[in-house]
Structure 1
Amino acid sequence: MSSLSPLTPTSPASPLRPDAPARSASPMAARSVRLALCFCPLLLVAVWGLTNQRVMYEGAVRLATADPWWLLAGLGFTCLGWVAASCVRQGALPERLPPGLLLASQFAAGAANHALPAGIGAHAVTLRFLRGRGVPLDRATASLALYSLVKPVAKTLVLLVFVAVSPAGRRLGELIPDARILLVAAIALTVAALVLAVVRPLRRPVTGLLRTALADARLLHSRPCRVLALWGGAAAMPLLQACTVASVGAALGLPVPWPEVVVAFLAAGTAVGAVPAPGGLAVDAALVFTLAAFGSPVAVATATVIGFRVLTDWLPLLPGALVLSALIRSKVL
Structure 2
Amino acid sequence: MTAQLLLRRSLLRRLPLRRILCLLPVALVVVVAVRHRDVLAEGIGRLASAEWPWLLAATGATCLTWVAAAVTRQGAVVDRLPGLRLLVTQFAAGAANHLLPTGLGASAVNLRFMTVCGLSPARSSAALALYLLAESVARVGLLAALLITFPDALRLGPLLPAGVWGPLLTAAGATAAVAAVLLVCVRRLRAVVSSFLRTALGEARSVHARPSRALALWGGSLAFPVLQASGLVLVGLALGLQVPPAHIALAYLAATVAVALVPTPGGLGSVEAALVVALVAVGGPVTVATAVVLAYRIITVWLPLLPGALTLGALVRWKII
TM-score, structure 2 normalization: 0.93
* 8 Å contact kept, 1:74–1:248: yes
* Matching of residue 242 in structure 1 with residue 238 in structure 2: no
* Matching of residue 293 in structure 1 with residue 281 in structure 2: yes
Deviation at 1:179, TM superposition (A): 7.1
Q: What per-residue deviation string (whole Å, max 9, x for no partner) do you get for residues 152-189 of structure 1?
A: 11111111111222254463447479975567545433
Q: Any residues of structure 2 matched to 1:11-22 within 5 Å, and which?
A: 17-22=1-6
Match of residue 73, structure 2, among 85, 89, 101: 89
Deviation at 1:200, TM superposition (A): 2.6
Counterpart code for 1:36: I
Map of 1:277 onto structure 2: 264
Map of 2:45 onto structure 1: 61
In structure 1, C-alpha distance between the alignment counterparts of 2:120 and 2:266, rounded to whole Å: 30
* Matching of residue 261 in structure 1 with residue 237 in structure 2: no
Map of 2:150 onto structure 1: 166
* 8 Å contact kept, 1:176–1:267: no
In structure 1, C-alpha distance between the alignment counterparts of 2:117 and 2:225, rounded to whole Å: 28
Map of 1:323 onto structure 2: 311
Match of residue 119, structure 1, among 103, 110, 113: 103
* 8 Å contact kept, 1:91–1:228: yes
Q: Secondary structure at the match of 1:313?
A: helix
* 8 Å contact kept, 1:172–1:267: no
* 8 Å contact kept, 2:32–2:99: no
Number of equivalenced pairs = 317
Q: What per-residue deviation string (whole Å, max 9, x for no partner) do you get for residues 91-114 of structure 1?
A: 111111011100000100011112
Deviation at 1:56, TM superposition (A): 1.1
Counterpart code for 2:234: S
The answer for unaligned runs of 5 or more in structure 1 is 1-16
Q: Any residues of structure 2 matched to 1:126-275 within 5 Å, and which?
A: 126-169=110-153, 171-173=155-157, 175=159, 181=168, 184-275=171-262
Q: Secondary structure at the match of 1:315?
A: helix
In structure 1, C-alpha distance between the alignment counterparts of 2:280 and 2:85, rounded to whole Å: 41
* 8 Å contact kept, 2:154–2:282: no
Map of 1:7 onto structure 2: none
* 8 Å contact kept, 1:113–1:121: yes
Map of 2:320 onto structure 1: 332
In structure 1, C-alpha distance between the alignment counterparts of 2:52 and 2:186, rounded to whole Å: 56
* 8 Å contact kept, 2:54–2:237: yes
Q: CA RMSD in A?
A: 2.0
The answer for unaligned runs of 5 or more in structure 2 is none
Deviation at 1:199, TM superposition (A): 2.3
When residues 172 and 49 of structure 1 are mapped into structure 2, their CA distance, relative to the original with a 3 A threshold, is same
* Matching of residue 74 in structure 1 with residue 83 in structure 2: no
Query: Which has the higher Rg, Structure 1 or Structure 2?
Result: 1
In structure 1, C-alpha distance between the alignment counterparts of 2:14 and 2:82, rounded to whole Å: 26
Structure with the larger RCO, 1 or 2 (CA within 8 Å, 6+ apart): 2
In structure 2, C-alpha distance between the alignment counterparts of 1:128 and 1:145, rounded to whole Å: 14
- Bigger CA drift: 108-117 or 159-168? 159-168
Write out the 4+ residue segments of structure 1 that deviate beyond 6 Å after TM superposition: 176-179
Map of 1:49 onto structure 2: 33
TM-score, structure 1 normalization: 0.89
When residues 222 and 175 of structure 1 are mapped into structure 2, their CA distance, relative to the original with a 3 A threshold, is farther
When residues 294 and 194 of structure 1 are mapped into structure 2, their CA distance, relative to the original with a 3 A threshold, is same
Counterpart code for 1:207: S
Deviation at 1:237, TM superposition (A): 1.1
Percent identical residues: 49
* 8 Å contact kept, 1:131–1:140: yes
* 8 Å contact kept, 2:154–2:247: no
